[in-house]
Amino acid sequence: EVQLVESGGGLVQPGGSLRLSCAASGFTFTTYSMNWVRQAPGKGLEWVSIISGTANTMYYADSVKGRFTISRDNAKNSLYLQMNSLSVEDTAVYYCARETERFLRDWGQGTLVTVSS
């Protein structure tokens, strides 16, 4: 059974940093591209970033480019999102999601990031 478990969310002040983690199990982690998708309270879904299985390709949404960095540790079956220069607009539930055949088939339960003073 595929399992994705996010962690690392919490309350952070504007301008601060946070690192999210996603622990994956139940599949061969290196084989799949992994994504971060976020959802602001009461709002829709916003794709954030993707990283290929071998970590040689990454893409970012314009809204986070230059501030967020996606990475993975295939030895630890883990995905990460380093978030710097956070603003209140980054407040959201952050989901990690596995991509299979171009779409997001498996999702974690999400971790809440709140940016507030």
Partner 1 sequence: EIVLTQSPATLSLSPGEGATLSCRASQSVSSFLGWYQQKPGQAPRLLIYDASNRATGIPARFSGSGSGTDFTLTISSLEPEDFAVYYCQQRSSWPLTFGGGTKVEIK
In the complex, which residues of this chain contact partner 1 (CB under 8 A)?
35, 37, 44-47, 50, 59-62, 95, 101-105, 107-110
Q: Minimum CB separation from partner 1 for residue 6, in Å? A: 10
**Which CB, 9 or 16, lies closer to partner 1?**
9
Of the candidates 105, 107, 93, 100, the one whose C-alpha atom is nearest the C-alpha of residue 46 is 93
Closest CB to partner 1 among residues 86, 97: 97
The SS3 call for residue 31 is: helix
| Distance linking the first and last C-alpha atoms of the chain | 40
Q: How many CA atoms lie within 13 A of 48 on its CB side?
A: 29
Choose between 103 and 117: whose C-beta lies nearer to partner 1: 103
Considering the complex, what minimum distance in angstroms separates the CB of residue 58 from partner 1? 11
